[in-house]
Amino acid sequence: MSDVKDPAEELEKENEDELSAAPESAEELPIEGGADDSGKDEEEAPELPEGINLMQAFIEAQQEAQSNKDGWQRARAEFANYKKRIERERIEIFQRASLDTLKALLPIVDDFDRAFESLPEDISDNPWIGGVSMIQRKFVTLLEQYQVEAIDPTGDLFDPNLHQAIGTEESDEVESGHVTETLQKGYRAGDKILRLALVKVAS
């Protein structure tokens, strides 16, 4: 019967064990988020290069942003100028090709002019002649659509930029240095000369 333990003694012993295990002072108590955690936060904080403060870094970032903006604006302006230049060149190429085609048609216009200048009067009312005349007028209308003008300088002062002299002759009707006769009309479109007029000049 001696092995039976008194419950009161058992409870008193457990209390003594808990008191002996308790920390003697507040310094021994564990602190949540202690020194180890604060040290970890300090290690994760970014460090600026030595000699640079936040204000200096901010100013440099602003300068870099402005430089990038200026570069973008220059690139945009250069691209806009490039598009304008390409469009202008495209129009010039189209106009040049059109004028070259019209220039190739000028000998045909010359043939029509010479044919109607020597047309006999007795067949001028012939319906066939009327049909050919309509073809000639279509050529003339085509030239007018592209603002191509004939150069017929008879009586005008000789201009080497517009006329090509193939001979000289004396004349009582035209002053010296002026065109006495136009042998072949010239043509121009605006300030572009498609063909010089072939002329004779008074000596």
What is the spatial distance between Cα 20 and Cα 37, in angstroms, rounded to a whole number? 30
* Structural tokens at position 200: 């004779």
CA distances from 136 to 57, 113, 133, 181, 184 (A): 80, 8, 5, 23, 17
At residue 56 the predicted structure's pLDDT band, cuts being 50, 70 and 90, is confident
CB 158, CB 193: distance < 8 Å: no
Please state the rounded mean pLDDT for residues 144-151: 92
Does residue 63 register a pLDDT over 90? no
Q: Look up the CATH number of domain 149-203.
A: 2.30.22.10
Q: Which residue has the higher pLDDT, 39 or 112?
A: 112
Give the Cβ contact number of residue 143 at 10 Å: 19
d(CA 132, CA 124): 11
What pLDDT digit, counting tens, does each position of 74-95 carry?
A: 888 898 999 999 999 998 898 8
Model pTM? 0.57
Expressed in percent and rounded to 5, the helix, strand and coil fractions of the chain are: 55, 15, 30
